[in-house]
């Protein structure tokens, strides 16, 4: 059985872009793959965090993994920092990664732009991501389009290690949706929907209440025309709403265009809000029914299962690099 790994940061509020772009794939993969899904709390530390908030968001995200339909009997769900091998392998991989490679990462350039100082952790973030993936001899990584460059670096690092020290790592393949991998902001559809955007109306969070979801959709940016059609160059706002409707209903875009042909933007927005509210209601109800103790027990068991796999990989890497084992 092929192995899958992916992770989400426990920062901000998890929104429909995270869900449609990656997390919904997790559920579809769990029946015919060996899956490891991680709450990547160490990645969150690359920028300042409130410790109390980070702890709560870590548990919230783990609960959302369960609420969207992940079954802990089928998949391994754990917190990154609970498996020390992630940080240890990250250091070893940093030692075979080139400064120039990390300097070219567009996410680092974007996140550090205009700041007087940034952490070294933000710069070396891709090595920790590579460690996350390579520890589990991962075949497939379901990620959003924005992580494609980091995954290419992971592949390069794996191949470099294998060439230098002998066959060790599986070289992973990205699983990026052909349609819907990049959900755009409701307030500025030329930008990606983001947890870090200061305007909360840019996104719909998985735990938003129905009235707020409807308010956000009705306020979503469109254009001065009235025709409902997919045209990302001329009508990015409407195209974003059509994409969301298509993804939530699993209708193709042409069907959605035909459904709303001759109707106004208000009708599209109203029906889209109805669909999103209905779909998220199931997740929200599942979330409410989960106890904190149960979520923590799932994470504890998941960490034990993940650590057993990760330690074997780390041991092999250390031996091949010339480190003496205890």
- Checking if the pLDDT of 114 tops 80, the result is no
* CA separation for the pair 201, 191 (Å, rounded): 13
Confidence class for position 113, pLDDT limits 50, 70, 90: confident
At 214, which helix (H) or strand (E)?
Answer: helix 210-218
Do 96 and 161 contact (CB within 8 A), yes or no? yes
pLDDT of residue 74: 97
194 falls within a domain? no
pTM: predicted TM-score of the whole model, two decimal places: 0.92
* CA separation for the pair 131, 86 (Å, rounded): 6
What mean pLDDT do residues 135-160 have?
A: 91
Number of domains into which the chain is organized:
2
Q: Are residues 108 and 209 in the same domain?
A: no
Class of residue 143 by CB neighbours under 10 A (exposed 0-12, middle 13-18, buried 19+): buried
Q: Are residues 282 and 296 in the same domain?
A: no
107 falls within a domain? yes
The structure tokens listed for 111 are 């996140």
313 falls within a domain? yes
Residue numbers of the domain that contains 137 = 3-176+292-321
188 falls within a domain? no
* CA separation for the pair 82, 41 (Å, rounded): 10
> 117: annotated binding-site residue?
no
The structure tokens listed for 148 are 């494609």
The answer to whether 192 is a known catalytic residue is yes
What mean pLDDT do residues 274-294 have?
A: 97
> 193: annotated binding-site residue?
yes
Do 258 and 186 contact (CB within 8 A), yes or no? no
> 250: annotated binding-site residue?
no
Q: Are residues 127 and 226 in the same domain?
A: no
CA 18, 23, 301, 10: dihedral to nearest 10 degrees? 0
> 196: annotated binding-site residue?
yes
Q: Are residues 161 and 210 in the same domain?
A: no
Q: Are residues 73 and 51 in the same domain?
A: yes
Q: Are residues 224 and 111 in the same domain?
A: no
Q: Are residues 23 and 79 in the same domain?
A: yes
Kindly write down the DSSP assignment for every residue of 129-180, as one continuous string: HHHHHHTTT-SEEE--GGGHHHHHHHHHHHHHHHHHH-S-S---EEE--SSS
Q: Are residues 156 and 206 in the same domain?
A: no
What mean pLDDT do residues 24-28 have?
A: 93
- Checking if the pLDDT of 120 tops 80, the result is yes
**Looking at 57, 192, 216, 269, which residue is catalytic?**
192
Class of residue 172 by CB neighbours under 10 A (exposed 0-12, middle 13-18, buried 19+): buried
- Checking if the pLDDT of 144 tops 80, the result is no
For the chain, percent of residues with pLDDT exceeding 90: 80
- Checking if the pLDDT of 111 tops 90, the result is no
**Looking at 195, 270, 318, 320, which residue is catalytic?**
195
């Amino acid at each position: 059985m092929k192995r899958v790994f992916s992770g989400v940061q426990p920062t901000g509020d998890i929104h429909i872009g995270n869900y449609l772009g990656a997390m919904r794939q997790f559920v579809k993969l769990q029946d015919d793959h060996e899956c490891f899904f991680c709450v990547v709390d160490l990645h969150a530390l690359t920028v300042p965090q409130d410790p109390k908030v980070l702890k709560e968001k870590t548990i919230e995200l783990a609960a959302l993994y369960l609420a969207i339909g992940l079954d802990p009997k089928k998949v391994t769900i754990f917190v990154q920092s609970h498996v020390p091998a992630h940080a240890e392998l990250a250091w070893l991989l940093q030692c075979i990664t080139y400064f120039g490679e990390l300097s070219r990462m567009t996410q680092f350039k974007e996140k550090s732009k205009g700041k007087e100082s940034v952490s070294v952790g933000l710069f070396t973030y891709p090595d920790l991501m590579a460690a996350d993936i390579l520890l589990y001899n991962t075949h497939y990584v379901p990620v959003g389009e924005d992580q494609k460059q980091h995954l290419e670096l992971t592949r390069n690092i794996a191949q470099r290690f294998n060439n230098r020290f002998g066959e060790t790592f599986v070289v992973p393949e990205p699983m990026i949706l052909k349609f819907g991998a990049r959900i755009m902001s409701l307030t500025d559809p030329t930008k990606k929907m983001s947890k870090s955007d200061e305007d909360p109306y840019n996104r719909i969070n998985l735990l938003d209440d129905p009235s707020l979801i409807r308010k956000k959709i009705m306020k979503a940016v469109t254009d001065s025309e009235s025709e409902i059609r997919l045209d990302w160059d001329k009508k990015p706002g409407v195209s974003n709403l059509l994409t969301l409707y298509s993804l939530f209903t699993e209708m193709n875009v042409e069907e959605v265009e035909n459904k709303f042909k001759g109707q106004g933007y208000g009708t599209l927005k109203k029906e889209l809000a109805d669909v999103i509210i209905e779909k998220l209601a199931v997740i929200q109800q599942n979330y409410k029914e989960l106890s904190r103790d149960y979520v923590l027990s799932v994470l504890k068991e998941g960490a034990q299962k993940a650590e057993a796999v990760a330690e074997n990989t780390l041991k092999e890497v250390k031996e091949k690099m010339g480190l003496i084992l205890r």
